[in-house]
Amino acid sequence: MDKITLQRIEKLHPSVQDEVKQIIKECDEALTGKAKVRITQGLRSFEEQEKLYAIGRITSEKKVTNAKAGQSIHNYGLAVDICMMIDGKTASWDTVKDWDNDKVADWYECVKIFAKHGWNWGGNWKTFKDLPHFEKKNILTKKGLIKTNWRTLLKMERDKDGYVVL
């Protein structure tokens, strides 16, 4: 895994860091061609979320999110966005390209690996599909397993580093 991906993983919620390292490792092992996974976004501050939410609303660009600050699982360090790095140089969001010629699009090889580890894919959303996006489905807390939901996460206590206390 590349240095940028590792740096972004280290900012995720501590409860998912090792799991995401394992997922990326499995993706990179499955992709035997010139494509490897890069995390393009992990933890996102509320301020960054507000700026993204403004795109397409107060600018003339296309909307990039329907989530306001606090409404994205990124705001809790429990979501990642990815791209494929081709030959370590060029970022690609092509979801149909089969760089390793194994008859399965590289992107979908990764979708399956994330799903195996209990992560939802934004490509499965009914509206506003977000193909680069993956988020943890359920989180184990002191009170048991909870569905990862921004409404629940927003109400949870935070630790000294700003992460929700699980």
Domain ranges in the chain? 3-137
Residue with tokens 């919620």: 13
Q: How many CA atoms lie within 13 A of 137 on its CB side?
A: 9
Give the predicted TM-score (pTM) of the model: 0.94
Residue with tokens 């092509």: 94
pLDDT for residue 133: 97
Decide if pLDDT at 128 tops 90: no
DSSP state for residue 58 in the 8-state scheme: T
Distance of CA 39 to the CA centre of its chain: 7
Long-range contacts of the stretch 53-62 (C-beta < 8 A, 24+): none
For residue 63 the two structure tokens come to 């909307």
Residues 6+ apart with CB under 8 A from 70: 46, 49, 150, 154
Distance of CA 137 to the CA centre of its chain: 12
Decide if pLDDT at 141 tops 90: no
Residue 121 amino acid letter: W
pLDDT for residue 143: 84
| pLDDT-based confidence at residue 78 (cuts at 50, 70, 90) | very high
Mean pLDDT of 52-59: 93
Query: In the CATH scheme, what architecture does the domain 3-137 have?
Result: 2-Layer Sandwich (3.30)
User: Average pLDDT, whole number, for the chain?
Assistant: 95
Mean pLDDT of 16-37: 96
Q: Which segments of the chain does DSSP mark as H helices, in order?
A: 3-9, 14-30, 46-54, 106-116, 150-155
